[in-house]
Amino acid sequence: MRRVIVVLLVAASLALGACAHKRPKPAPPEAPDASAGAQGSGANTANAAAGADEEGAGPQAGLLATKVVYFDFDSSEIKGTGTDVVAAHAKYLTAHSNTRVRLEGHTDERGSREYNIGLGERRAQSVRRALLLQGAADAQISTVSYGEERPAVPGHDEAAWAKNRRVEIVYLTQPLAPKQ
Of the candidates 132, 133, 68, which has an alpha carbon nearest to the alpha carbon of residue 104? 68
Binding mask 52-91 toward other proteins (x if CB under 8 A, else -) reads xx--------------------------------------
Does 159 help bind other proteins (rule: CB under 8 A)? no
Q: Which is nearer to other proteins, 16 or 64 (CB)?
A: 16
Nearer to other proteins, 33 or 62 (CB): 33
Kindly state the DSSP code that residue 21 receives in the 8-state scheme: G
* Alpha-carbon 24 to chain mean position: 37
How many C-beta atoms surround the C-beta of residue 79 within 10 A? 11
Query: For other proteins, what does the binding mask look like between residues 105 and 124, x meaning CB under 8 A?
Result: ----xxxxxxx-xxx-xx-x
151 forms part of the interface with other proteins (CB under 8 A)? yes
Task: List Cα–Cα distances, 138 to 66, 90, 127, in angstroms.
Answer: 22, 12, 12
Provide, rounded to whole angstroms, the least separation between the CB of residue 15 and other proteins.
5
